[in-house]
């Protein structure tokens, strides 16, 4: 059996373990779980550290369980949050759970024999568990002093914490007890900010059943500049293509700083240690080629979206940064087109003018202000410095309906790097 702890250690994914965890994992096939918060209808790249922990766990021969927190999601984990979170209704949570389940299935093998992954929902065992029964059967085993000693609670003492969120660790702790008792789960894993909640579970198992269970945490990932991993200027990077296009997803990984790329590829790739060390050495010889970033971006985009979507992202990158052609541009769907040229100046043009054949000087210097004057536009056209849909044009060019991309857009390029998007009214 592969040494899971050693695998995490060299990948930089091990933060802390309870004594005896490594010995347990070497002795037998272990069932372990990680909980996922269903307060959004998509996982984000920030969740991928825990997803990959389950992936490496399964590849080491153990049985991973992903817990969707249908019950705990109705409360909200206070761990290191500065404010009380909004509570979601049951219908929204169920929708979110189904969406996340589909995304998890792209990483975990749910049909591979003894160590097949499983998906559970803690709403199933909490929906009929009455409040009075819970505080009698569970609450009496954990003291308020014990709960207040947790860092996740201490950090909220100044701003205030409701009883609802205060009770979260007890509910998560009961999850571990339930899975230990009914599913044979001996290990809970999570981010380092979950240590307090996880150990409440091991304590409940000890006090309620004189049982033994274990905990393992991974470090929280931050960028080299201190910024939060998984965030961009436009917000979260999601696995759902409707929220973050495959092109934007690919670019997120491709644009990783060199200082981050070495750590990222160890965490988010399933390549072997030898393959990754060879890539790191290759990258060190020619950092400008960004071999680490390309290898990671291609692997993770294929896994989350598909090989086809990766190829579209690569073509889109060629169009913007390389030697893309009009043919490539015409095969691009509207969502990808808009994500590639997000932020470039956009102008409207009437369909009637295209039907009649629009004069380029009028378009470039009057309707769009691509150039400040017709004189400058004329000089650039004569010097072959203007392209329509990646094809260079001259003074004689008239824009027409046939130039439309996706029946709505025309791409104007001035020089090598200045793009403008025309949109039909």
Which residues are part of a known binding site for ATP?
A: 231
Q: Give the DSSP H or E segment for 385.
A: none
Nearest alpha-carbon partner for 209 in 176, 233, 235, 232: 176
Q: What is the DSSP string of 172-208?
A: HHHHHHHHHHHH---EEEEEGGGHHHHHHHHHHHHHH
Nearest alpha-carbon partner for 275 in 45, 22, 10: 10
Nearest alpha-carbon partner for 294 in 254, 258, 263: 254
Cα(first)–Cα(last) distance of the chain, in Å?
A: 63
Strand order in the sheet with 346-349: 346-349, 418-424, 409-414, 386-388, 391-392
Burial classification of residue 160, based on how many CB atoms lie within 10 Å of its CB (0-12 exposed, 13-18 middle, 19 or more buried): exposed
Q: Name the token pair of 111.
A: 């049909």
| Helices (runs of H) and strands (runs of E) counted in the chain | 21, 15
Burial classification of residue 384, based on how many CB atoms lie within 10 Å of its CB (0-12 exposed, 13-18 middle, 19 or more buried): exposed
d(CA 389, CA 387): 6
What's 241's DSSP letter? T
Which residues belong to the annotated binding site?
33, 168, 172, 231
Which residues belong to the annotated binding site for L-tyrosine?
33, 168, 172
Nearest alpha-carbon partner for 50 in 127, 120, 107, 109: 107
Q: Residues with Cβ < 8 Å from 151, sequence gap 6 or more?
A: 80, 196
């Amino acid at each position: 059996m592969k040494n899971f702890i050693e695998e995490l250690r060299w990948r930089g994914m091990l933060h802390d373990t309870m004594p005896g965890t490594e010995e347990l994992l070497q002795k037998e096939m272990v069932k372990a779980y990680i909980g996922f918060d269903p307060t959004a209808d998509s996982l984000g790249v920030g969740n991928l550290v825990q997803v990959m922990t389950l992936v490496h766990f399964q590849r080491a021969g153990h049985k991973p369980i992903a817990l969707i927190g249908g019950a705990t999601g109705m409360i909200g984990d206070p761990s290191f949050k500065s404010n009380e979170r909004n509570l979601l209704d049951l219908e929204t949570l169920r929708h979110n759970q189904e969406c996340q389940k589909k995304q998890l299935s792209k990483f975990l093998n749910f049909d591979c024999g003894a160590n097949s992954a499983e998906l559970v929902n803690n709403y199933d065992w909490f929906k009929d568990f009455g409040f009075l029964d819970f505080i009698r059967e569970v609450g009496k085993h954990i003291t308020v002093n014990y709960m207040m000693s947790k860092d996740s609670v201490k950090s909220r003492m100044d701003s205030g914490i409701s009883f609802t969120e205060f009770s979260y660790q007890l509910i998560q702790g009961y999850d571990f007890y339930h899975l230990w008792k009914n599913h044979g789960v001996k290990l809970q894993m999570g981010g380092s900010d979950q240590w307090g909640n996880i150990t409440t579970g091991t304590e409940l198992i000890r006090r309620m059943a004189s049982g033994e269970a274990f905990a393992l945490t991974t470090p929280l990932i931050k960028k080299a500049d201190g910024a939060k991993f998984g965030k961009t200027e436009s917000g979260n990077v999601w696995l759902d293509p409707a929220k973050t296009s495959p092109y934007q997803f690919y670019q997120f990984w491709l644009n990783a700083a060199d200082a981050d790329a070495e750590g990222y590829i160890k965490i988010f790739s399933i390549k072997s240690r030898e393959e990754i060390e060879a890539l790191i050495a290759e990258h060190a010889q020619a950092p400008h080629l960004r071999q680490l970033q390309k290898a990671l971006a291609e692997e993770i985009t294929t896994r989350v979206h598909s090989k086809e979507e990766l190829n579209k992202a690569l073509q889109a990158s060629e169009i913007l940064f390389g030697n893309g052609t009009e043919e490539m541009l015409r095969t691009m769907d509207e969502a990808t087109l808009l994500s590639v040229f997000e932020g470039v100046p956009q102008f409207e043009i009437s369909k009637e003018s295209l039907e009649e054949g629009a004069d380029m000087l009028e378009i470039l210097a009057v309707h769009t202000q691509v150039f400040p004057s017709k004189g400058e536009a004329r000089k650039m056209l004569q010097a072959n410095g203007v392209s329509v849909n990646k094809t260079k044009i001259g003074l004689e060019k008239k824009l027409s309906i046939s130039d439309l991309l996706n029946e709505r857009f025309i791409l104007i390029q001035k020089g090598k790097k200045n793009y403008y998007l025309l949109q039909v009214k």
